[in-house]
Amino acid sequence: MDLEKLKNEAEKEVKKAKNLKKLDEIFKKYLGKKGEIARVFTSLKKLSKKERKEVGREANLVKIGIERLIKEKSKKLKEETRKLKLRKERIDVTRPGKKIEAGHLHPLTLVQREVEEIFESMGFSVIQGPEVETEWYNFDALNIPKDHPARDIWDTFWLKNQKLLLRTHTSPVQIRYLEKNHPPLRIVVPGRCFRHEATDTSHDVQFYQLEGLMMDKNISVANFKAVIEEFLKRFFKTNIKIRLRPGFFPFTEPSFETDLQCTICKGKGCSVCKNTGWLEIIPGGMVHPNVLKAAGINPKNWQGFAFGAGIDRLAMLRYKIEDIRLFYSGDLRFLKQF
């Protein structure tokens, strides 16, 4: 057969092919085992050596040509088919996503972690202590004498037939830690505390406190201010304003209340700050020499600050929660929001 003609016919057919099936047929017809080109090669046997070489080379060229044509056409057809198919495929992107049922961490856990991380980044170690305490650690060692009205500040749960109590604050851990560790030191102590008092939206029989203690040679009120300011700034992720005013705690001297300018109304006055523009947030002071003595530390050599932040209160401000009792309700309608 005339190779030139063969090539032309193949070209024409490829051009006309409308789909991959047809193209496949064309491939078989020309390039298949029994196709036209194969036949040309078979017929070569009959030719002289010289002709054989010449025709063979030409047939090969034609073969390669047709192959390329088919390949190109196939690519084109596939592209067209895909486009056609894609045009028909679609999803409704506005339908709701499929929910993955993970659980939820408690808001106090979330806030506690955040607070711990901030203090850890400032070099404070996180320490824990017991929830049931002796009178010595909870009161006496903290310079709160027996039968003194100062004790009335801490309404206390006592255990029956035992001289033990439920700790009213995390401060006992100051003593426990100082007995075993020597300054310089920096610790924070998160933990559950208890008060024997009527409950309302801002008081419950149990709550979480974070005790802080930093001791060194020259730790001052100015240092307390800087550390607390930095903590509050990072926790509320905004520029905050604080003020220090006099307070009284038997275990610190001087003692102060740290007020935070209300994060809700920015100091203008609202229900959260009872229209004062300020929130009493972190009581603290310089550790009283009697406390250091009780823990076996010489107050002539070491000084430092201590404070106690309410974790429930921080969480309430963070999430705008109005009732502290929700934390201990186990109500999933509440917990699932965190």
Partner 1 sequence: MLFSYNWLKDYLKGKMPSPKKLAELLTMHSFEVESVVKKGNDFVLDIDVLPNRAPDCFSHLGIAREIAAILNSELQAPDSKSEEDQKLKAKDFVSVEVKNKADCSRYSAKVISGVKVKSAPKWIQERLKVCGLQPINNIVDITNYVMLETGQPIHAFDLDKVGKKIIVRRAKRGEKIKALDDKTYQLDGDILVIADQKRPIAIAGIKGGEKTGIDKKTKNIVIEAANFNQRVVRQGSRKLKLRTDASWRFENGITPELVDLSQERVASLIQKIAEGKVAQGLVDFYPKKILPKKINLDLNYLEKLLGLRISKQKVLKILKSLDFKTSEVGPQRIKVGVPTRRLDVLIQEDLIEEIGRIVGFQDIPSTFPRAALISPEKNEELFWQRNIKNILKEAGLSEVYNYSFMGEKQRGIFNWSKGDLTELANPMSSFNRYLRSSLIPNLLRNIKDNLKHFDQIKLFEIGKIFIKKQNLREKKMLAGILTRKGIKDEGFYELKGMVDSLLAKLGIADVWYDDYRQTPELSEAEIWHPQKSAEIKSNGEEIGFLGEIHPKVMENLDIKERVFVFDVDFEKLLKLASEEHEYQPISVFPAAIRDLAILVPVGTKVVEILNKINIGGGKLVRDIDLFDVYSGQGIPQGKENFAFHIIYQARDRTLSSKEIDEVHQRIIKALEENPAWEVRR
Residues 89 to 108 in contact with partner 1, rule: CB under 8 A: 101-106, 108
Q: Is 79 in the site for partner 1 (CB under 8 A)?
A: no
- The residue type found at 112 is Q
Say if CB 276 and CB 269 are below 8 A apart: yes
State the Cα–Cα distance between residues 140 and 294, nearest whole angstrom. Answer: 9
- The residue type found at 104 is H
Read off φ and ψ for residue 165, nearest 5 degrees.
Answer: -145, 165
The CA angle 106-206-203, to the nearest 5 degrees, is 100
Nearer Cβ to partner 1 (60/220): 220
**Considering only residues 223-262, where is the footprint of partner 1 by CB under 8 A?**
223, 225-227, 229-230, 243-248, 250, 253-257
The two structure tokens encoding residue 319: 């999430």
For residue 96, the minimal CB distance to partner 1 (Å) is: 19
- Site for partner 1 (CB under 8 A): which residue of 96, 222, 237, 320? 222
For residue 312, the minimal CB distance to partner 1 (Å) is: 10
Q: Is 301 in the site for partner 1 (CB under 8 A)?
A: no
For residue 85, the minimal CB distance to partner 1 (Å) is: 36
Which residue from 112, 75, 89 is spatially nearest to 191, judged by alpha carbons?
112
Q: Is 303 in the site for partner 1 (CB under 8 A)?
A: yes
Beta-strand relationship, 252-261 and 284-287: antiparallel
Q: Provide the phi-psi class of 277: left if phi over 0, else alpha when psi is between -120 and 50, else beta.
A: left
With CB under 8 A as the rule, give the number of residues binding partner 1.
77
For residue 249, the minimal CB distance to partner 1 (Å) is: 9
**Considering only residues 118-147, where is the footprint of partner 1 by CB under 8 A?**
120, 123-128, 130-132, 147
For residue 158, the minimal CB distance to partner 1 (Å) is: 4
